[in-house]
Amino acid sequence: MAKTELLGKGDKLDKYRDHLLSNAALTPEQTEMLAKYRRANALLCNGYSRLRTITILTKECLVAHGYAYSLVRDTIELFGDITKSEKDGMRYIAYENFIRAAKLAQKQKDYNAMIRAQENAARIYDLYTVSEQVMNPQDFVKPTEIIFTTDAQVLIDHQKEETIDTDYQEADDEEGK
């Protein structure tokens, strides 16, 4: 496969990204380093905290504590932060459980529990806060002219001023042009 071309000066992880995306060749030292990155990622994916991962890496790879910190930081940059996706997944699971509880409460005709479960589900995704106002009601407020009179002719004259008579034939002819 073709090697990925860089537009500017790349960082030290670009060779590993290139290998992971297009199976580019790595030197034996780079292969060993990629194995360390993969081990750190596996530990993070298995639920170990960053600090616990650093401690394990210092013992397994026989590296200094500071080097293990940079190893974990580079791993997160290379493979992504698993904690964010884990949090999103847990949020979705909690939401689904509340919805399931609401349906069960509805079947049992426990409407108070159903409402509480639905409110909790809505709070998980922050559905109660208004993110932005789509329409401003003031944009639709149009000052109107109010005429107080007992003379019917004034009203008729006023309606004639605002009404524009259009012949349908003329409108069609103009659209056809």
Task: pLDDT band for 93, please (50, 70, 90 cuts).
Answer: confident
Asked whether residue 2 carries a pLDDT value surpassing 60, the answer given is no
Asked whether residue 5 carries a pLDDT value surpassing 60, the answer given is no
Task: pLDDT band for 12, please (50, 70, 90 cuts).
Answer: confident
Q: What is the DSSP letter of 71?
A: H
Is pLDDT larger for residue 5 or for residue 135? 135
pLDDT value at position 125?
83
Asked whether residue 163 carries a pLDDT value surpassing 70, the answer given is no
Asked whether residue 176 carries a pLDDT value surpassing 70, the answer given is no
Task: pLDDT band for 137, please (50, 70, 90 cuts).
Answer: confident
- Count the alpha carbons within 13 Å of 140 in the hemisphere toward its beta carbon: 4
3-state helix, strand, coil in the chain (%, to 5): 65, 0, 35
Most confident residue range from 15-24, 66-75, 135-144, 153-162: 66-75
Q: Which residue has the tokens 């073709």?
A: 2
Asked whether residue 7 carries a pLDDT value surpassing 60, the answer given is no
- Count the alpha carbons within 13 Å of 161 in the hemisphere toward its beta carbon: 7
Task: pLDDT band for 116, please (50, 70, 90 cuts).
Answer: very high
Q: What is the rounded distance in angstroms from the CA atom of residue 117 to the CA atom of residue 107? A: 13
Asked whether residue 84 carries a pLDDT value surpassing 70, the answer given is yes
Q: What is the rounded distance in angstroms from the CA atom of residue 159 to the CA atom of residue 177? A: 31
CB-CB contact of 102 with 121 (8 Å): yes
The predicted model scores a pTM of 0.49
Asked whether residue 1 carries a pLDDT value surpassing 50, the answer given is no
Q: What is the DSSP letter of 166?
A: -
